Amino acid sequence: MQDIIVPVTDANSETALIAWFVEDGANVDRGQLIATAETSKSVIEIVAECGGFLLHEVPEGADVSIDSVIGRVFDDAAALEDHRRDRAPVMEPPSTNGDSAVRATRSAVELANAHGIELASLNGDGLLTSRDVEAALADSKHSQPAELPDPLVVDDGRRRLLVIGAGLGATQVIDILGHHDDVTAVAIVDDETTCWGDEVAGVPVVGGRDRIAELLDRGVVDAAVISISTSVQVRASMRAFCDQLDLPLANAIDPTARIATGVEMGLGNVLCAFCHLGVGAVVGHNNFLSAYNSFDHHSILGSDISTGPGCMTSGLVTIGDRARFGTGIFVEPKVHVGQDALIASGSVLLGDVPDGHVVKMKAGTTIMSPRRQ
């Protein structure tokens, strides 16, 4: 056996970078170039001083000190293998990033361990992240028909309302209902399984829409309010679903709302704080009107409309079914906004919007930069 040592030719250098020219375990001839050691301006060539089988003691690219043993040459392959078995694991094992069955982020591993989820059981092509684990958690909740809570029980004669949608809209609706003595929210349904069993403002999420029929049969709810404001399509489809089940919709109107003389209003509408419906206004069913909306005299709203805060119309405006308004929109008198129109925040409507059209505002530029302390 012959040790291979980095020759000292460069007094200025303490270390050298090794590049192997012959594979680990290969047969080499005497005088053959087996590696280079880059020290300073020069690269030193290292040749085999005898023939035999080469063992790398340091990996490619290792930065080793001058004079250290970087490899050995053995007379036969068996001697090399013996040595390899005996020696301590000097070389770092190669990174097995791609080889192991599962790769996951640290927080994914922690989350999985906390919930007793087997990472290997998750589907995922690349790196598993905490999001993947959360999704799996949601699935597993769904698949286990865990004990779903029942609606709150009230027997004081108040109407018992079912809130549809457990998102932030539900908190608004429950807040509004809290200001009324004759109604109370007793249950929430939502098709998103991850929230089943949770509570929103003390009201339990009792399951998805599949559970509504059961609740009706048991006579534990009297009417429903749809709290979803982000999608007018979902609002519309949930209303149709309730109609099929003969579940009536109820209006949820904040006490600060001002409803003028002669207003006609359908059912299932949510009117948030400080809304104003002008004289003679007509409002259909199931609209979600956010805070500080004002629809002035003789305006006509269809059904399943959703608005952001601060939408103002002049008088005699008409708004079609399923129109969706952003935040802070002004509408001139007599303007007609068609069905399924989408109006971007900040728009000022001077003229009619046809059915199914989008109104975008030419956005003013908002510049964001870090604050100087």
Distances (CA, A) of 58 to 52, 54, 78, 310: 18, 12, 20, 70
- First-to-last CA distance in the chain? 67
Q: Which residue spans within 98-245 are E strands per DSSP?
A: 159-164, 183-189, 199-200, 203-207, 223-226
Sign (positive or negative) of CA dihedral 180, 219, 305, 203: positive
Distance CA 300, CA 259 (A): 14
Residues 6+ apart with CB under 8 A from 295: 276, 277, 278, 281, 283, 289, 301, 313, 317, 319
Q: Which is nearer to other proteins, 19 or 273 (CB)?
A: 19
When binding is defined by CB under 8 A, the residue of 5, 19, 22, 279 that contacts other proteins is 19
Q: What minimum distance in Å lies between the beta carbon of 105 and other proteins?
A: 5
Distance CA 210, CA 268 (A): 20
Q: Which of residues 98-157 bind other proteins (CB under 8 A)?
A: 98, 103-108, 126-127, 129-131
Contact yes or no for 206/148 (Cβ under 8 A): yes
Q: Which of residues 38-97 bind other proteins (CB under 8 A)?
A: 38, 40-43, 60-61, 94-95, 97
Stretch touching other proteins by CB under 8 A, among 32-40, 166-174, 256-264, 349-357: 32-40
Q: What minimum distance in Å lies between the beta carbon of 62 and other proteins?
A: 9
Stretch touching other proteins by CB under 8 A, among 14-22, 139-147, 181-189, 276-284: 14-22
Count the neighbouring beta carbons within 10 Å of the beta carbon of residue 40: 12
Q: Which is nearer to other proteins, 87 or 131 (CB)?
A: 131
When binding is defined by CB under 8 A, the residue of 5, 7, 10, 17 that contacts other proteins is 17
344 touches other proteins by CB under 8 A: no
Q: What minimum distance in Å lies between the beta carbon of 205 and other proteins?
A: 28
3 touches other proteins by CB under 8 A: no
**Binding site residues, other proteins, CB under 8 A:** 13, 17-21, 36, 38, 40-43, 60-61, 94-95, 97-98, 103-108, 126-127, 129-131, 365, 368-370
